[in-house]
C-alpha cells in the first residue's frame, strides 16, 4: 500500500504550468508606513475553480520560495515546483478536487513587485529602496489579489515555515475568508537564536564587497559570495544533525585521503557549496534580506501583551498544525504554542508531531505519517 | 494509545455517553482512533479534543472527524488550563500510564469531572489463573504476556476505590461490567470478583472550610 501511494505521488504531477501576472492598482499601505500605489503579483494555479468558487486553496511560500509550487515549466525538466511532492492529482493537496493558487509574495524576486522591479516614481530599479515587507503586508496583498481573482473565501490557506505564519495571519485578519488554516513546521514568532541565524546570513551578504549597499546592479556586480554563505548557513539549519550524519557522514568528496587543503574535501562541504552556488545564481540579495526581516518581525502576540491566545481570538477557521521531531529551526515546541493558543480559544484544531529525521525541510517531503495526516485532513476540507 | 482491543460501538461508550451532559466540553486521553469522541459528538453534541500518542492513530482520528492532538500523556496535561473542560475521560488506558497518580490529579485539575475505566484485575478468572495456575494472568481484556505487556498499572476495583478515598477523590458514580460489557446481578453484588471492566465518574472532594467543620 505504501508503495502504491509513493508511486502515485511520484508519477502524478499537474504537468506543464505557465505563470500569470496580476496587476493590483488598489493602494497597499504597508506596516512600515509606505503606501504602494500599485503592485503586481506573479502566480500559478493548478486544477479548476468550481462554479460556486468554493474549492480554492491558497498556498503561501516560505523564505526562499516563489509561485512555482507544483508541476514543471515548459522545456525545463529541472523546473519541478517546490511543493510538487504534496500538490497534484491524488496528492494531499489534490488538483482534481481543488483550485490551487500560489503567488510570489511582494518583495520577492521571481516576477512580483520587489527589489528587482522598477520603481514607477523614478523609472529605476528599487533595489535596497524597496520597503521592508512584513507577513501582515503579504497577507494584505494576498487579500487584494483574492478580491481580484474573485475568491471571497478560501477553502484552505496552507503554508510551511514562513508560509505557516501567513496562514496564521490570514486566520485572524480575515476570519471569514478561509475555512481551514494549515500551519506546518511554523512558529508564532522567531526565537533569539532564529533571529541570530538570519542576522549572520544578512551580514554575509551586506559585508560582501560586491554588495554596494544594495545597489550592486548599478555596478554590474552581485554579492554572490555573501548569498552563498547565507544559503549555506540556512541550509545547515534546515537539516538535522542525524540527517547530515546519515547523508554525508565524514565521507570524502572524490578522493580517498585528505590532502591537507582548503578544497571541499568532505562531501558535506561539497554539498553546501553546490547549494550555495545554485541559490546565488537565481536569488536576489535584497529580496533575501527583506524576507529574513519579515520572518524576524512576525510576532502577533506582541500587540496583545505577549498573549498568543488573545492574538488568535478572532480566528474562526478549523486548524491543522503539524511539526517534525527533528526540526530544530522551528521546533515542535513552537507549534505546540500555536496549538495551545487555538485550543484555549476552543477552536477546532488537530496537531500531528511527525517523527521524521529530515529536520525543517521535512515539510517539503513525502513522509508516510505526514502524507497520511495531510491526506485525511484534506479529505475533510469541503468544496 | 489504548492497548486493549476495540469493538465497533462499545457498550462502555454508551455508559460514558449517558454520564456526560449534552454540549459538554470533553477531553479524551488516549483516544486511539477517536471512536469514543466521535460517539460522544454524535450522541451528546460534545465539543473537545482527543489526545493520542500513536502516529498511526492521528489520521484515523481525523477520518473520524474529531480534533486530535498528538502528545504523550506521561508528561501530564501541561498545555491545558485548570477547569477548562467539563469531563476528562481516560477509557481503558489507565493500566498503561507510567505516572497514573499524576495523571488522575491532572484530569481533576483540567476537568470538573473525570471518567476512568480500567480492566479489573480482581476478576475471579484472573485470581484463579494466578492462584491455581501459578502464572501471570492473561485474559480477553489483558491479552499480553508479562514480558511484553504495556499494562503496568493493573489494579482491582477495591484498589481503585481505596486510591480515590486516600486522595480525596469523590466517586460520583461507578459501573462494573462483565466481559460482554453488561452488568448482571453478579457484577452488581460482587463487583470486584465478577467485574471485568470498572468505570468510575469522579470529582475532587470540595474543600470543606473550617467554618463548617467546627463542632457545634
The three cell numbers of residue A345 are: 480559544
C-alpha span between A267 and B110 (Å, rounded)? 52
A161: annotated active-site residue: yes
Separation between Cα atoms, residue A223 and residue A279, nearest integer Å = 12
Q: In b/e form, how buried is each residue of A187-203, taking b as 16+ CB within 10 angstroms?
A: bbbbeeebbebbeebbe
**Residue B170 pairs with which residues in a beta bridge?**
B203
Do residues B125 and B141 lie in contact, with contact meaning Cβ atoms separated by under 8 Å?
no
- Residue B216 included in any domain: no
- Tens-binned pLDDT, residue by residue, of chain A (383 aa): 333 444 434 468 999 999 999 999 999 999 999 999 999 999 999 999 999 999 999 999 999 899 999 999 999 988 999 999 999 999 999 999 999 999 999 999 999 999 999 998 899 999 999 999 999 999 999 999 999 999 999 999 999 999 999 999 999 999 999 999 999 999 999 999 999 999 999 999 999 999 999 999 999 999 999 999 999 999 999 999 999 999 999 999 999 999 999 999 999 999 999 999 999 999 999 999 999 999 999 999 999 999 999 999 999 999 999 999 999 999 999 999 999 999 999 999 999 999 999 999 999 999 999 999 999 999 999 88
Residue of B nearest to A349 (CA): B67
Whether residue B214 is contained in a domain is answered as no
Catalytic residue among A326, A327, A335, A361: A327
Q: Cβ(B60)–Cβ(B121) under 8 Å?
A: no
Of the candidates B122, B127, B115, the one whose C-alpha atom is nearest the C-alpha of residue B172 is: B115
Is there a catalytic annotation at residue A327? yes
Active site residue A323: no
Is residue B126 scored above 80 in pLDDT? Answer: yes
Q: What's the CATH class of domain A2-189+299-380?
A: alpha beta
pLDDT for the residue numbered A7:
42
Interface mutation vs chain A, best among B56, B58, B68, B88, most A CBs within 10 Å: B58
Check which CATH number belongs to the domain holding B123 and give it: 3.40.50.150
Domain ranges of chain A: 2-189+299-380, 195-291
Q: How many domains are there within chain B? A: 1
What is the reported pLDDT for B47? Answer: 97
Residue of chain B with shortest Cα separation from A374 = B59
Residue numbers of the domain that contains B119: 11-204
Identify whether B211 is part of a domain: no
- DSSP-assigned states of every residue in B4-61: S---SS-HHHHHHHHHSPTT-EEEEET-TTSHHHHHHHHHH--EEEEEE--HHHHHHH
CA distance B213 to chain A (A): 37
In contact, A279 and A273? CB cutoff 8 Å: no
Number of A to B CB contacts under 8 A, please give it.
Answer: 52
So what's the pLDDT on residue B24?
Answer: 98
3-state secondary structure of A4: helix
pLDDT (tens digit per residue) in B22-31: 999 999 999 9
Give yes or no for a contact between B212 and B131, defined as CB atoms under 8 angstroms apart: no
Model pLDDT, residue B142: 82
Q: Which residues of A touch B80 (CB under 8 A)?
A: 343
- Cα distance between residue A60 and residue A162, in whole Å: 8
Residues of chain A contacting residue B79, judged by C-beta atoms under 8 Å apart: 336, 339-340, 343
Contact B61 A350 (CB under 8 A): yes
For the A195-291 domain, the top CATH level (class) is mainly alpha
Q: List, as one string, the DSSP characters of A88-102.
A: ETTSSEETTT-EEEE
Kindly determine whether residue A351 and residue B68, on different chains, have CB atoms separated by under 8 Å.
Answer: yes
Ranges of H-type helices in chain A: 2-11, 135-149, 162-173, 192-206, 224-238, 241-247, 267-282, 285-297, 308-311, 332-344, 368-380
* pLDDT class of B207 with cuts at 50, 70, 90: low
Judge whether A24 and A38 are in contact, CB under 8 Å.
Answer: yes
**Higher local confidence (pLDDT), B150 or A374:** A374
Task: Please list every residue in chain A whose beta carbon sits closer than 8 Å to the beta carbon of residue B83.
Answer: none
Would you call A380 and B65 a contact, using CB atoms and an 8 Å cutoff? yes
Alpha-carbon dihedral sign for residues B33, B37, B41, B43: positive
Please state, in angstroms and rounded to a whole number, the distance separating the CA atoms of residues B30 and B98.
13
Nearest to B203, CA basis, from B115, B103, B100:
B115
Q: Are strands A318-324 and A349-354 parallel, antiparallel or unpaired?
A: parallel
For residue B215, is it within any domain? no
The pLDDT score that the predictor gives to residue A118 is 94
- Please give, rounded to a whole number of angstroms, the shortest distance from the CA of A134 to a CA of chain B: 30
In a domain, B210, yes or no: no
Q: Which of helix, strand or coil describes residue B95?
A: helix
For the stretch B14-58, pLDDT in tens is 999 999 999 999 999 999 999 999 999 999 999 999 999 999 999
Catalytic residue among A161, A171, A323, A335: A161
- The residue of chain A nearest to residue B70, with distances taken between CA atoms, is A352
Residues in A closer than 8 angstroms to B70, CB to CB, are: 351-353
- Among all residues of chain B, which has the CA nearest to that of A368? B56
What is the average pLDDT score of chain B? 87
Residue B154 lies in a domain: yes
Amino acid at each position: 500500500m505504501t508503495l502504491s501511494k509513493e508511486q502515485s505521488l511520484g508519477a502524478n504531477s499537474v504537468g506543464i504550468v505557465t505563470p500569470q501576472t496580476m496587476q493590483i492598482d488598489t493602494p497597499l499601505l504597508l506596516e512600515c508606513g509606505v503606501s504602494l500605489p500599485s503592485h503586481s503579483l506573479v502566480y500559478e494555479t493548478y486544477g479548476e475553480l468550481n462554479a460556486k468558487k468554493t474549492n480554492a486553496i491558497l498556498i503561501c511560500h516560505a523564505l526562499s520560495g516563489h509561485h512555482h509550487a507544483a508541476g514543471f515549466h515548459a522545456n525545463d525538466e529541472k523546473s519541478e515546483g517546490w511543493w510538487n511532492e504534496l500538490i497534484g492529482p491524488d496528492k494531499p493537496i489534490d488538483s482534481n478536487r481543488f483550485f490551487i493558487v500560489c503567488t510570489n509574495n511582494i518583495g520577492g524576486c521571481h516576477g512580483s513587485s520587489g527589489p528587482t522591479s522598477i520603481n514607477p516614481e523614478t523609472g529605476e530599479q528599487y533595489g535596497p529602496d524597496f520597503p521592508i515587507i512584513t507577513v501582515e503586508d503579504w497577507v494584505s496583498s494576498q487579500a487584494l489579489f483574492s478580491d481580484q481573482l474573485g475568491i471571497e473565501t478560501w477553502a484552505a490557506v496552507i503554508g510551511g515555515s514562513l508560509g505557516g505564519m501567513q496562514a496564521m495571519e490570514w486566520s485572524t485578519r480575515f476570519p471569514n475568508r478561509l475555512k481551514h488554516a494549515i500551519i506546518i513546521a511554523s512558529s508564532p514568532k522567531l526565537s533569539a537564536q532564529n533571529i541570530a541565524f538570519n542576522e549572520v546570513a544578512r551580514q554575509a551578504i551586506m559585508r560582501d564587497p560586491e554588495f554596494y549597499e544594495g545597489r550592486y546592479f548599478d555596478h554590474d556586480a552581485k554579492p554572490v559570495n555573501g548569498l552563498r554563505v547565507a544559503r549555506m548557513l540556512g541550509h545547515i539549519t534546515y537539516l538535522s544533525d542525524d540527517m547530515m550524519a546519515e547523508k554525508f557522514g565524514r565521507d570524502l568528496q572524490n578522493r580517498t585521503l585528505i590532502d591537507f587543503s582548503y578544497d571541499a574535501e568532505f562531501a558535506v562541504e561539497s554539498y553546501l557549496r553546490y547549494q550555495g552556488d545554485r541559490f546565488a545564481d537565481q536569488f536576489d540579495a535584497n529580496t533575501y534580506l527583506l524576507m529574513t526581516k519579515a520572518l524576524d518581525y512576525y510576532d502577533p502576540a506582541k500587540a496583545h501583551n505577549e498573549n498568543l491566545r488573545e492574538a488568535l481570538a478572532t480566528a474562526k477557521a478549523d486548524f491543522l498544525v503539524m511539526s517534525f521531531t527533528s526540526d530544530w529551526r522551528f521546533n515542535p515546541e513552537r507549534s505546540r504554542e500555536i496549538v495551545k493558543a487555538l485550543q484555549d480559544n476552543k477552536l477546532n484544531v488537530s496537531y500531528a508531531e511527525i517523527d521524521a529525521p529530515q529536520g525543517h525541510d521535512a515539510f517539503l517531503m513525502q513522509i508516510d505519517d505526514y502524507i497520511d495526516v495531510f491526506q485525511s485532513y484534506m479529505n475533510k476540507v469541503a468544496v | 494509545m489504548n492497548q486493549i482491543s476495540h469493538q465497533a460501538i462499545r457498550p462502555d461508550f454508551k455508559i460514558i455517553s449517558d454520564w456526560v451532559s449534552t454540549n459538554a466540553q470533553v477531553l479524551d486521553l488516549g483516544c486511539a482512533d477517536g471512536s469514543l469522541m466521535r460517539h460522544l459528538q454524535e450522541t451528546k453534541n460534545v465539543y473537545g479534543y482527543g489526545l493520542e500518542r500513536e502516529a498511526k492513530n492521528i489520521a484515523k482520528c481525523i477520518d473520524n472527524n474529531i480534533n486530535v492532538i498528538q502528545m504523550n500523556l506521561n508528561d501530564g496535561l501541561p498545555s491545558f488550563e485548570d477547569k477548562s473542560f467539563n469531563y476528562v475521560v481516560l477509557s481503558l488506558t489507565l493500566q498503561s500510564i507510567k505516572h497514573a497518580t499524576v495523571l488522575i490529579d491532572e484530569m481533576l485539575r483540567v476537568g470538573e469531572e473525570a471518567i476512568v475505566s480500567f480492566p479489573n484485575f480482581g476478576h475471579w478468572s484472573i485470581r484463579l489463573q494466578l492462584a491455581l495456575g501459578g502464572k501471570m494472568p492473561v485474559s480477553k481484556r489483558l491479552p499480553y504476556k508479562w514480558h511484553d505487556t504495556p499494562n503496568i498499572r493493573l489494579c482491582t476495583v477495591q484498589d481503585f476505590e481505596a486510591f480515590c478515598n486516600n486522595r480525596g477523590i469523590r466517586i460520583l458514580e461507578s459501573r462494573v461490567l462483565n466481559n460482554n460489557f453488561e452488568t448482571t446481578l453478579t457484577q452488581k453484588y460482587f463487583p470486584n470478583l465478577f467485574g471485568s471492566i470498572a468505570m468510575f465518574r469522579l470529582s475532587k472532594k470540595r474543600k470543606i472550610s473550617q467554618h463548617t467543620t467546627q463542632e457545634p
